Structure 1
Amino acid sequence: MSTLRAGLAFLALVQAIIGGWPLLAPKLFYDNFPLPTNQWVAYFPPFNEHLLRDFGSLNLALCVVLVFAAVTMERRLIQAALVGYLVYAVPHLIFHLGHLSHMPFADQVGNVVSLVAVVLIPLALLPLTLRTGRKIDSRVSQ
């Protein structure tokens, strides 16, 4: 498996988890994300079922785009998926960087590390899409 395909699959998996959980069980997500002992979403009350279900479905939509990109390995689709991911991930990171003071230090670190990682991964993958040809993976027929 190529680095690019593995990165797309990882990002899709992250979106599947972060999308499926609030869509199917919004109150459990609110009270227990990322762990029951570290309730990051609950630091931002009040609970809003509608907003969390919408958040979940939008994350699942991004998951689908990332899966299609990983399966087809079509350059423009991969680029659109990664840039689309960044359109979400960068403002999300910026918001949370400005709203850490009410969290315990361990949660601050976990929050920043996880959010920075999901910005750096697509940034690292984008240069891998600059090769010539429509398909990136030579094992996929053109």
Structure 2
Amino acid sequence: MTAVKRVALALSAALGLFVGGWATVSPRGFYDAFPGVLGHWIDLDGPFNEHLIRDVGGLYLALAAASVVVLVRRSAWAPLGAAWTVFGVLHLAYHATHLGGFPTVDAVGAIVSLAVSLALGIVLLVPTRRPAEAVAR
């Protein structure tokens, strides 16, 4: 596994733990204040729904757990990349088409942060040549 993939995995795990942990431990706080210093984005998109926020927290924690396992075992990064990428595409697509009511700086911040998350998943999908293959070529 390349250093780039290890960094992508570590950042994906950190992202999942941050978002998932916050949403799971404090659903109302997550709704009211996410992402924190960058503004507040969740409450601009509709009324509070604890069930939805806890489900999102569980999803992010599951992806974080899988990222940690792959980081430690150094295997199965492609299926994990596929999971992060599918989630990233759908998550970005939703938010890109639902920015009404967002101040410009928050809209840009949301789209950039979601694009970075998607890019991390894509990095994990890129095949890595094995050392023996690299030498043979």
Query: By the TM > 0.5 criterion, same fold?
Result: yes
Is 1:112 the counterpart of 2:111? The answer is: yes
Counting only pairs closer than 5 Å after superposition, residues 1-142 of structure 1 correspond to structure 2 as 2-35=3-36, 38-74=39-75, 77-127=76-126, 129-132=127-130
Aligned length: 130
Structure 1, residues 63-101: CA drift from partner, whole Å, max 9, x if none? 111111111111xx1101110011111000001110113
Confirm or deny: 8 A CA contact 2:83 2:121 kept in the other structure. Answer: no
Check conservation: 2:34, 2:42, Cα contact below 8 A.
yes
* Offset of residue 121 of structure 1: 2.2
Cα distance change on mapping 1:91 and 1:37 into 2, 3 Å: closer
Aligned-partner Cα distance in 2 for 1:121–1:57: 19
Identity of aligned residues (%): 35
What is the CA distance between 1:37 and its match in structure 2?
A: 6.7
Structure 2: which 5+ runs fail to align? 132-137
After superposing on structure 2, the runs of 4+ consecutive aligned residues of structure 1 that deviate more than 6 Å are none
Aligned-pair CA distance for 1:36: 6.1
Q: Which has the higher helix share?
A: 2
Aligned to 2:134: none
Instruction: Give the secondary structure class of the aligned counterpart of 1:52.
Output: helix
8 Å Cα contact 2:31-2:43 kept in structure 1: yes
How far does residue 112 in structure 1 lie from its aligned partner after superposition? 1.0
Give the TM-score, by structure 2 length. 0.88
Q: Distance in 2 between matches of 1:65 and 1:37?
A: 27
Normalised by the size of structure 1, how large is the TM-score?
A: 0.85
Q: Deviations over 1:16-74 (max 9, x none)?
A: 00100010000000000012671100011210111111110121011111111111111
Task: Note the residue ranges of structure 1 that are not aligned, 5 or more in a row.
Answer: 134-142
